[in-house]
A and B are shown apart, each in its own frame.
Chain A
Amino acid sequence: MTRAWILLAIATASLAPASLATPALAAPKSSTVTGPGGITLRSVTVDLPQSDREFPGADAAAINNNCLTCHSAGMVLRQPPFPREKWAEIVNKMIQTYKAPIDAGDVPAIVDYLAKR
């Protein structure tokens, strides 16, 4: 639990400036820009769906606690089977290249989960 709340705090802190800089309340829905030929662009506000989906299974705590920060579970669950070394390479890429804040101690459990198929 602690780990998740720390991550939440990090994510909130890193995103807060962008959120505060342009208050969501401004919501200029009626705003338009029109150019020659009658082309008009209208401001857009959407709600992107979030995912509540978790990795299933009793051994999914590590993957659920670390991997949902950056992406939902669906694409991972749609991967074909890969050997453990391939999953280790993928998890390592997430950490080294994409800077996923994954506890080093959780890596074996994540790789085990993904490889166990």
Chain B
Amino acid sequence: MGQGYRFPLIGRRGFIAGAAALGALPASRGALGALAQDAGDTVFTTAFPQKGRMILQRTRPPLLETPFEVFDQGVFTPNDRFFVRWHWAGIPEQVDVATFTLKVHGHVDRPLTLGLGELLAMPRLEYAAVNQCSGNSRSLFTPRVAGAQWRHGAMGNARWVGVPLKAVLDRAGVKAGAVAIRARGLDEPVVPDAPAFGKSLAIDHARDGEVMIAFQMNGEQLPLLNGFPLRLVVPGWYSTYWVKMLCDIEVLATADDQYWTKTAYRIPDTPHASVTPGETGYAQVPINRMVPRSFITNLEDGARVAAGKPLALRGLAFGGDQGVAAVEVSADGGATWRGAHLGRDEGRYSFRQWHLTAPGPAAGPVRLMVRCTNTAGETQPLEANWNPNGFMRNVVETTTLTAA
């Protein structure tokens, strides 16, 4: 592994708390009441370094969700509000840029150990791209599924600057017969023999010239919790591939047989990765490209609006692994659709803002649906998908308002 970082002694307080709990606790409240009460609450936190107010899904390892109102503030998600998701609690609390290194090894002619100065001196690449967790919006799956209970805030859009992964691989000289690269970060499991997090990409994908080793996010170095100092950016693909604190790239001559690629983060090989609850025996593939999504951002579910007055709507859309071709809004359950105006095009992989002034609604409940069609002609479905891991939601979302 690289140098220039230190790990905390992890979980001390967790252990102490665990030990303390062995003593008698008041039996005034059973598990039933406590769990049920916690389930519906949104807890906010400002306790995390380089982060503003976030929704706390878990303290350790951190799962921090972007509050939805942030998405109404612009097409780029501020670094201090960008969502955070770690698999293991062994996260370095210190990174020294002078000694940090990225290793490139495996099926290559010239194994490399690159310092940050060397990477900064290489030709650069810059683009905007959405980073979205595979399980974004998981809490909306019906029936409910286990995992981080995100609403829509496990996504964000940033302008990334870095070097093409291809340039680094070319410098190492990928040997004939290479089939994939596996990326690893500085994070470590906290128990012996557990599978360290790592993800692989097919060699042709890794060398497509777009996959990036990023060192800047929205014009600044990355927050530590978003992967400082280096993060793999795989535009158009789910965040699980965007390895944080990237320190090790191994070129593989055989398919990746490690847990995180072979077993985890897999989806049904069916349309919309959808199956029937309880269904078994279907083929699975690693999760891969993202699919189109869109949201109304200026009105949240349950908002009250004036009846009979034109309704200004605003939101975000993204095309998945393609650009946004159209955004449409329906106020009649999807029977008719009205095209929205698209904001400035920040690139194929970026969020795109949209706006529309809808006719004044009649008094009563108003159900507004928004859908995105990407430049490949793929449109969001009207029916929600379902799979046991709660991955890849992209149903047309509905915002319910009351006009009075």
Spell out A's residues near B (CB within 8 Å).
1, 4-5, 7-8, 10-12, 14-15, 18-19, 22-24, 26-28, 31-37, 39, 41-61, 64-66, 68-72, 74-75, 77-82, 86, 90, 97-101, 113, 116-117
**Measured CA separation A42–B62 after assembly (Å):** 23
How many residue pairs link A and B with beta carbons under 8 A? The number is 244
Contact B9 A80 (CB under 8 A): no
Question: For chain B residues 173-218, which have a beta carbon within 8 Å of chain A?
Answer: 188-195, 215-216
Q: Give the interface size bracket for B toward A.
A: 35 or more
Interface centre among B17, B62, B216 (most CB of A within 10 A): B17
**CB-based closest 4 A-B pairs:** A35-B120, A64-B21, A46-B49, A58-B27
- Given that A33-B120, A45-B94 are contacting pairs, would A99 and B189 also be in contact in the complex, using a CB cutoff of 8 Å? yes
CA distance A103 to B191 in the complex (A): 14
Expressed in whole angstroms, the Cα–Cα distance for A42 and B14 within the complex equals 31
**What residues of chain B lie closer than 8 Å to A54, measured between beta carbons?**
17-18, 20-21, 25
Q: Are A58 and B30 interface neighbours, CB within 8 A?
A: yes
Q: Which residues of B contact A44 (CB under 8 A)?
A: 94-95, 221, 224, 228
Q: A4-B22, A44-B221, A113-B31 known; 10 other A-B pairs, CB under 8 Å?
A: A22-B94, A24-B94, A39-B161, A39-B215, A41-B215, A48-B60, A55-B31, A56-B25, A57-B27, A81-B35
- Determine chain B's interface SS by DSSP, over half rule: loop
Closest partner residue, chain B, to A41 (CB atom):
B97
**Which residue, of B10, B18, B144, has the highest number of chain A Cβ atoms within 10 A?**
B18
Tell me which residues from 41 to 68 in chain B have a Cβ below 8 Å from any Cβ of chain A. 43, 45, 47-50, 56-63
- Give the distance to chain A from B89, nearest Cβ to Cβ, in Å: 6
In the bound complex, residues from chain B placing their C-beta under 8 Å from that of A10 are: 191-192
Contact of B21 among A61, A69, A78 (CB under 8 A): A61
Specify which chain B residues have a CB less than 8 angstroms from the CB of A4 in the assembled complex: 15-16, 18-19, 22
B134-161 interface (Cβ within 8 A of A): 144, 146, 148-149, 161
Against A, the Cβ 8 Å flags (1 = close, 0 = not) of B111-153 are 0000111011100100000000000000000001010110000
Quick one: which of A8, A11, A19, A45 contacts B191, CB cutoff 8 A? A11
Tell me the B residues contacting A by CB distance below 8 Å: 3-22, 24-27, 29-32, 34-36, 38-39, 43, 45, 47-50, 56-63, 88-91, 93-98, 115-117, 119-121, 124, 144, 146, 148-149, 161, 188-195, 215-216, 221, 224, 228-229, 259, 263
A78 to B20, CA, bound (A): 23
- Residue in A19, A36, A71 whose CB lies within 8 Å of B60: A71
Residues on the B chain within 8 Å of A19, using CB: 6-9
Contact of B194 among A59, A60, A99 (CB under 8 A): A99
Smallest CB separation, B387 vs chain A (Å): 15
Q: Is the CB of B224 within 8 A of A18?
A: no
Q: Are B30 and A11 in contact (CB under 8 A)?
A: no
A–B Cβ pairs within 8 angstroms, 11 of them: A18-B6, A33-B116, A35-B117, A48-B91, A55-B21, A68-B17, A74-B59, A75-B148, A99-B194, A100-B191, A117-B32
Bound-state CA distance A24–B398 (Å) is 50
- Pairwise interchain contact A64-B58, C-beta atoms closer than 8 A: no
Partner of B14, one of A18, A68, A78: A68
Docked pose: A43 CA to B26 CA in angstroms: 46
* From A5, A59, A75, A82, contact of B30 by CB (8 A): A59
Contacts of A48 in B (CB 8 A): 8, 48-49, 60, 62, 91, 93
